[in-house]
Structures are given as C-alpha cells and as structure tokens.
Amino acid sequence: DIQLTQSPSSLSASEGDRVTITCRASQTISSYLNWYQQKPGKAPKLLIYAASSLQSGVPSRFSGSGAGTDFTLTISSLQPEDFATYYCQQSYSTPLTFGGGTKVEIK
Amino acid sequence: QVQLQQSGPGLVKPWQTLSLTCAISGDSVSSNSATWNWIRQSPSRGLEWLGRTYYRSKWNNDYAESVKSRLTINPDTSKNQFSLQLNSVTPEDTAIYYCSRGGENYLDPWGQGTLVTVSS
C-alpha cells in the first residue's frame, strides 16, 4: 500500500496568512494526488485534483503543486472559512489511501 | 450535478451485518467512466477506503485487504444505487461511513455520511 505522510499534523495561523501543507508519498505516484477539505460534521470536499488542478467552484487562493513523491497545498491568504482539516489522497493505485490530515486552527 | 444520498441503520450489534445504501442522482451506477466507492472515517484509522464497484463492459469490484473477507459492494441498476454489506462487525468497525463517486482519479462528490456504532 502507498503511505501518505502529511506535515504538519496541525498548525495555527491568522487570517491573511500564507499556509503551506506538505504530503509525501512512500513511492512515486506521478501526479495522482488530490487534496480535500473537511469541516466538522461534514464530508470531505475536493479542492485540488491531479496535484495542481483546481476543482470547479474552489477559490483561487488554493493551489497545489508537486509530482512524484512530494506535494504541496498552499492557501495564499487564509480566510475565516478555511479553518478546517485538510487531507491528501492518492489515486495512483488501489487501495486508495489518505494522509493523516492537517488541522488548520485559528491563532 | 451528481448527488449521493446515504441510508441505513446507525446501530449494529457485534457479529451482525452492517448494511448501507447510496442512492445516486445525476449519474448512472452503470456509467462507463465512474467508480462507486465506500470510505470510512474513525479517530483510530483516519480516512480508510474500503472498496468500489464499477462497470466496464462487466461489473468489477476492488476491496481493501483489511476488509476483503467481510465486505461486499453491489450495484442496483433498477434503483440506480449501490450498497455496502460488512459482515461479522466488531466495535473496531465503528466509524462514519461515506459513499463517493470516483471519476477522473478523484473522489467527488461524497454522501452526507452515516455514523455507524457497533454495540450490543
């Protein structure tokens, strides 16, 4: 199985901050990496697919980059509605696997 | 716009069968480009993909090794839905269960989630 390691597991940030979350795969997964946002009591919501493609309707302050084993999710200017938990997920091979999550909290 | 609506009991007794259904609107369970997935989430296991069903000239299934011996995912073309059956459940199967459409190598959308508690 492909393991995904996210860092950090949590972070505190202020509105307007630039936030970067990383995801490292245990083997190369090309660009088969997706990012999701989850708020309490809700299902995960797709933000970025294929490492860097912005899902329709997602604000442009979200961006993704990387290929191979190292990937990054960036929020350019953190907004109040962005406080949530973020997960990476690989679709290179089954079983599909997820990172452990990064909780973004208010500083 | 694809929407998924989950249904099923929130409480299951140990060693019984957990059964959930995911009704699809805006797409077809028989689509040649989509997969239909079940994922669960718990504090101890995080987000865990369980398996999927999909149609590519014939019906196919993929299951996670951790549940493969206990899990069945079936399509129901007459009702345009798919189901999960997990046998011989234990308290470790307590989790929020989600269904999701897989397309273009990502999972979107997701159902609303069902909290399933395994307890006597």
Strand partners, A19: A75
Q: Which residues of B touch A43 (CB under 8 A)?
A: 98, 109-113
Strand partners, B20: B84
Q: Which residues of B touch A35 (CB under 8 A)?
A: none
Which one-letter amino acid corresponds to residue A96? L
Helix (H, G, I), strand (E, B) or coil at A81: helix
CB-based contact A84:B52 (threshold 8 Å)? no
Q: Which residues of A touch B106 (CB under 8 A)?
A: 34, 46, 49-50, 89, 91
Average pLDDT of the residues of chain B = 97
The β-bridge relationship of strands B18-25 and B3-7 is antiparallel
Q: What is the tens place of the pLDDT at every residue in A38-92?
A: 999 999 999 999 999 999 999 999 999 999 999 999 999 999 999 999 999 999 9
Q: Which residue of A has its CA nearest to B61?
A: A94
CA angle B91, B95, B96 (to 5 degrees): 155
Tell me A99's DSSP state: -
Q: What is the dihedral of CA B77, B83, B85, B90, to 10 degrees?
A: 180
**Dist CA A85 CA A99 (whole Å):** 11
Q: Does B117 touch chain A (CB under 8 A)?
A: no
CB-based contact A100:A24 (threshold 8 Å)? no
Residue B104, pLDDT > 90, answer no
Tell me B36's DSSP state: E
**Dist CA B67 CA B87 (whole Å):** 9
Q: HSE on the CB side for B116, CA within 13 Å?
A: 33
SS (H, E, C) A26-40: CCCCCCCEEEEEECC
Average pLDDT of the residues in B66-91: 98
Residue B103: both structure tokens together: 């397309």
Phi, psi of B93 (to 5 degrees): -90, 0
Radius of gyration of chain B (CA): 14
Average pLDDT of the residues in B86-102: 98
pLDDT band at A100 (very low <50, low <70, confident <90, very high): very high
Q: A31, A96, A103: which to substitute to probe chain B, counting the most B Cβ within 10 Å?
A: A96
pLDDT of residue A106: 87
pLDDT of residue A17: 97
